[in-house]
Structure 1
């Protein structure tokens, strides 16, 4: 008899070959980062959980990726991981100076407050709203300090006026302005630790068109859809799409387009969608997010897919345990997906590990892709490299009793 994580070759839900398509969130970093993260954390999880994972480079292809060999209780699984890259679009959207960044901050705040989205989002989870307000508060604080530098320079110039005349205040004001600009520039250079500009540009990216899909991202979604559609003809047992953070709502649109195209064969590989740390309401609660709302309404009723949505209350950047379809006002009698449950960081991380990570909010937002020292039924590496399909692994799972399904969204139209 096979172990619970094995399954006989050829049996329903058993995997020997898999294709994984990973869609990152709003991240300007090269996809090599995700390979190294997978390698380090996969090795750690394997040592904790008693299986084996090895990585090797993927032959040069259109998209960056790597090969994984997983060995679980005698079962060997070959997985090809491919990163669907949109970091170039992210970099382009972040390439603005300090002054323009402040203008974008003001516009983004106006969009979320003026549309009423901010208050409705706060009724779901306070954490992501606090995360959204964080860059606003920090940027205003930085501006205040810069303003104090200018004021101090002018005051110094007034002190020097008896000796320098009118030149004193002018010189002091110019020195204060130079210091203020240097301070603002230094704050921006520290953003690798503060994440102020990063988060502000993330929210501004969705707000700039009131939730509508930007044309450059629409083109990239079409490219992603084509990559996955081509894999549907491969001799593999499962195609698994993983969307993390903002990548989750991109995955929704990609998979909706894929199924609409008719290229998901009934006799083809099992199709799974794993959304992690999703922030879908940040977009669907905006007035012109017609495309995403239509895709959610469509995808949640499809039989071609198994969709599991994993979040955690310990992740302050995600809408933990919020059914992205239902809270967006798109759930109906035909809704099948997603299965909503928690990675339960406070239980799956040891007390010492949780204490070390608890206040590292950005790191916790990536914990879904990392090892757990007290793993539960969520294990990223078993899911992506193990011998069961996503559907088989969670076949008997039910959505968490604490899942939030009440519709809160003001904007529910799926077309202009």
Structure 2
């Protein structure tokens, strides 16, 4: 049995959302590829940290059994998103001042480019919303027949109410301003150690991963988006809990999809995350496949995450790289409609592909080829599509 440990990104939605997505895309993949993929009903673990379901893949008489376990941290996200604008107005300027003074913004721009533009852009929009709210409030108050002192006191109160309405409207697509502003705050608070809830969640998750050794045919740890760095931290913790983990015959593979690892590891305060990245990057007992897409503006994909984080570059064959073309996944007319829906495009790698030979997430999880063998087959960085 293949044991998959999946870590989703910064998402407040219930974990059943991901089960529904996997089941739907598995049906599409089954129709397109002739591989039968059956997905069981999900079950929430008694300790509340996972949603688990079984996957059965069958093709040409070969059957693959998969146990799919999703780390729940939607409760941690909901505690931080959406934050109040009062917290944002205090914390956002302090964060950016710290990042600017440390030199983070310069190296982040060099390593991330388009992702840097997105993060900088949404924070610029937030600043514009604050200024616009103040201007609109001042204009409205000036029309009221009130004493000057009363008008002065009323402007920030009305501006705060206007800002709250604007942020509610832009919380979702297409701008996702509130989401990305709060995600940025989480990332850097996790880096600095100020945020402890996720650190506490990763310890029992690492124990789950470690305990699967000897019971599963292989262990696959998949981190998408913000969980690209959380997944490697979880593996690092499993290794700390048991220094012999990964050496007893059960193959262990890390898969990062839509990775944003340098987003956190370039932070001067991210000593713990950088140390985990350095150890996992050098740990040859674990395979590592990095699935990249240059069309995904919400990922960092220019080079390997160790070099991008200012650490010693790994050997050329340490990290297998799979570059996926958007044309292999969806039709050109659909790309034209979704191109600027950045979150929708960011999730495309978790969906079915239209090209028979292209990367397909459901087929990757439930297909007959062991994941560790696929990574070994890739060896040095490989390219699929453009």
| TM norm. shorter chain > 0.5 | yes
Would the aligned equivalents of 1:370 and 1:380 in 2 still touch at CA under 8 Å?
A: yes
Distance apart, 1:205 and its partner CA: 1.5
SS, match of residue 281 in structure 1? helix
Q: Does 1:230 align with 2:217?
A: no
- 1:9-88 to structure 2, matched below 5 A, reads 17-59=1-43, 61-62=45-46, 63-88=50-75
Instruction: State how far apart, in whole Å, the 1-side matches of 2:79 and 2:203 are.
Output: 19
- Judged with a 3 Å threshold, the aligned counterparts in structure 2 of structure 1 residues 111 and 338 are, in CA distance, closer, same or farther, namely farther
Would the aligned equivalents of 1:211 and 1:283 in 2 still touch at CA under 8 Å?
A: no
- Per-residue CA deviation, residues 222-244 of structure 1 (Å, 9 max, x unaligned), is 1111011111131x211111100
Instruction: State how far apart, in whole Å, the 1-side matches of 2:67 and 2:230 are.
Output: 21
- Judged with a 3 Å threshold, the aligned counterparts in structure 2 of structure 1 residues 218 and 171 are, in CA distance, closer, same or farther, namely closer
Distance apart, 1:115 and its partner CA: 1.5
What stretches of structure 2 of length at least 5 have no aligned partner?
none
2:237 aligns to what? 257
SS, match of residue 326 in structure 1? helix
- Judged with a 3 Å threshold, the aligned counterparts in structure 2 of structure 1 residues 152 and 352 are, in CA distance, closer, same or farther, namely same
1:287 aligns to what? 268
- Per-residue CA deviation, residues 102-138 of structure 1 (Å, 9 max, x unaligned), is 2222122223222211121211232110121122112
Would the aligned equivalents of 2:217 and 2:251 in 1 still touch at CA under 8 Å?
A: yes
Match of 1:122 among 106, 109, 127: 109
Runs of 4+ aligned structure 1 residues displaced above 6 Å come to none
Instruction: State how far apart, in whole Å, the 1-side matches of 2:85 and 2:314 are.
Output: 48
Would the aligned equivalents of 2:321 and 2:383 in 1 still touch at CA under 8 Å?
A: no
1:358 aligns to what? 339
2:81 aligns to what? 94
Match of 2:219 among 212, 217, 239: 239
What stretches of structure 1 of length at least 5 have no aligned partner?
1-16, 161-166, 403-416
Instruction: State how far apart, in whole Å, the 2-side matches of 1:340 and 1:38 are.
Output: 23
Distance apart, 1:286 and its partner CA: 0.7
Structure of larger gyration radius: 1
Instruction: State how far apart, in whole Å, the 2-side matches of 1:284 and 1:176 are.
Output: 40
Match of 2:304 among 319, 323, 346: 323
- Per-residue CA deviation, residues 251-300 of structure 1 (Å, 9 max, x unaligned), is 11111222342352544322111101111111111112111111111111
Distance apart, 1:364 and its partner CA: 0.9
Distance apart, 1:73 and its partner CA: 2.5
Instruction: State how far apart, in whole Å, the 1-side matches of 2:139 and 2:95 are.
Output: 31
- Judged with a 3 Å threshold, the aligned counterparts in structure 2 of structure 1 residues 241 and 265 are, in CA distance, closer, same or farther, namely closer
Match of 2:130 among 136, 143, 158: 143
Would the aligned equivalents of 2:92 and 2:185 in 1 still touch at CA under 8 Å?
A: yes
Distance apart, 1:39 and its partner CA: 0.9
- Judged with a 3 Å threshold, the aligned counterparts in structure 2 of structure 1 residues 55 and 125 are, in CA distance, closer, same or farther, namely same
SS, match of residue 80 in structure 2? helix
2:187 aligns to what? 206
SS, match of residue 93 in structure 1? coil
Q: TM-score, normalised by structure 1?
A: 0.83
Q: Does 1:304 align with 2:285?
A: yes
SS, match of residue 394 in structure 1? helix
- Judged with a 3 Å threshold, the aligned counterparts in structure 2 of structure 1 residues 36 and 257 are, in CA distance, closer, same or farther, namely same
Would the aligned equivalents of 2:353 and 2:359 in 1 still touch at CA under 8 Å?
A: no
